[in-house]
Chain A
Amino acid sequence: MTVASALEMALAAVVLGVATWTIAARETFAAVVGFVTYGLLLALIWVRLDAVDVALVEAAIGGGLGGVLLLGAAARLRVTETPTATERPSATVRVGAALLSAAVAAALATGVILLPDPAPTLAPAAAANATATGLGNPVTNVLMAFRAMDTMLEKVVLLLALVGVWSLAPDRLWGGHPGPRHRADPLGTLAFLARLLPPVGIVVGIYVFWTGKDHPGGAFQGGTILAAMWLLVMMAGIADAPQVSSRRLRIVLIAGPGIFLAVGLAGFAIGSAFLAYPVAYAKPLILGIEVAMTLTIAATLGLLLAGAPERSAGQ
């Protein structure tokens, strides 16, 4: 056994341990903390699997925004812990669930182990067609060119999730501000951090987006960082979440899929196909779409975490 494979096993063991704790912990809050650390460690696995783009996503979502979302919910729902925990299913059910889950996991593991060797891959095809876009990052090529439809629909999924979250508002507060008004000492520590960090975060976020054309990174990763910065400013009470009725906000929220769609349709009209880019303009077009998508992702993620409208204007 080499040092490297020992390391992999250790990493897998630690990750599995945290995952077990996340399921087994008695208190939800403790479980969620476990999940946050799980997200941090998962980034390591993705690097080890040579998928740095995914590692960036995992670091930004699993370790960052996902933690904020779940920790916040755990804190708010703490009073429901004891009553709901009493609905724990009987031992028979739990044993049955454990056995069946184990069976499914075992089947999955068998399937993975018995995957054919050499593995089929589209890496050569992706490499051969990379010239069509002029981008050096194969993952970006897949997301923005070869499977552009998935990426566009995924942005619509984000938008619909936001519509779903907003639709949970009470009727009379429609059009108001999402989430509670955060108040914090404007001269306190959190506010200080929220004044210092965002400029740095903006540079890093734009860098992560920009470098995604040739190196690991991209619109989603960069947008998540920007969203986190916005959220920090909101949580520190320095800026309020915008009203959901704001037209400007809504334009930002659809800019990504909108421009994607427009470019796609332009390819329809003048180019060869829907979502096809003329080779000469492929790179600037893709980057243009990604700029809009970064903004849209940042705004959407920030608002998804802020929640449903809870205050009417000015409250």
Chain B
Amino acid sequence: MSNPSDALGRLMAHALARAVALLILWLVLAGSDLADLPAGIVAVLAATVTSLRLLPVGPSRLSPVLLGPLALRFLYQSVAAGIDVAWRALDPRLPLRPGFVVYSVCFPLGSARNAFAALTSLLPGTVPAGDEGSRLVYHCLDVDQPVVSQLAAEEAALRHAIRHD
């Protein structure tokens, strides 16, 4: 952090990572025809610059290696969530015990915490519904479920994937 060239290197690395991701998006959308590439480069450049301005490079970044397992994990969770809510909706008895659960997160306010909130909004039976200082208020479909321990497990998984340099 103290070394300016180091910071520049990090910036470049981040920029490059984002640019690559956006370039992949462009290629998926527009195909790899060479005639379209100039427009693609302009689009990717504009998007990368915007991205760097909107979301400056922070001290942490997602580890690409661990991102895969994380994604799989949440994919699985979101399938489970869908099944869970479908079951509750279609059950004639309407088995709900709605309520709020307050969960203390260790992520500071900012991107990491927002990412955590976004991911947990896909978990079975929970939707983040507010902040209270360092704590997130979750609305739950069934407060009898082990919501807090589940959230803690997700938090650990996410923290594992975010590498602090």
A interface residues with partner B (beta carbon < 8 Å)? 187-189, 192, 194-196, 198-200, 202-204, 206-207, 210-211, 233, 238
Contacts and interface: CB of A to CB of B under 8 A. Distances in A.
A3 to B, nearest CB: 27
Q: Do most interface residues of chain B lie in helix, strand or loop, or is the interface mixed?
A: helix
A189 B50 contact: no
Contacts of B22: 199-200, 203
B30 A199 contact: no
Nearest to B110: A187
Interface in B99-130: 109-111, 113-115, 117-118
B44 interface: yes
Contacts of B43: 202-203, 206-207, 210
Interface of B: 18, 22, 25-26, 29-30, 36, 39, 42-44, 46-48, 50-51, 54-55, 109-111, 113-115, 117-118, 131
A210 B30 CA distance: 9
15 contacts: A187-B109, A187-B113, A188-B114, A192-B111, A195-B55, A195-B111, A199-B48, A199-B50, A200-B22, A200-B25, A202-B43, A204-B29, A207-B29, A210-B30, A211-B30
A233 B48 CA distance: 15
A31 to B, nearest CB: 28
Contacts of B131: 188
B30 A200 contact: no
Contacts of B113: 187
Nearest to B113: A187
B29 A203 contact: yes
A210 B42 CA distance: 11
A233 B46 contact: no
B46 A202 contact: yes
Contacts of A189: 114, 117-118
Given A204-B29, A211-B30, A199 B110 contact: no
B18 A199 contact: yes
A298 B22 CA distance: 21
A283 B39 CA distance: 14
A238 B115 CA distance: 18
A195 B114 CA distance: 11
4 interchain residue pairs of minimum CB distance: A192-B114, A206-B43, A199-B51, A199-B47
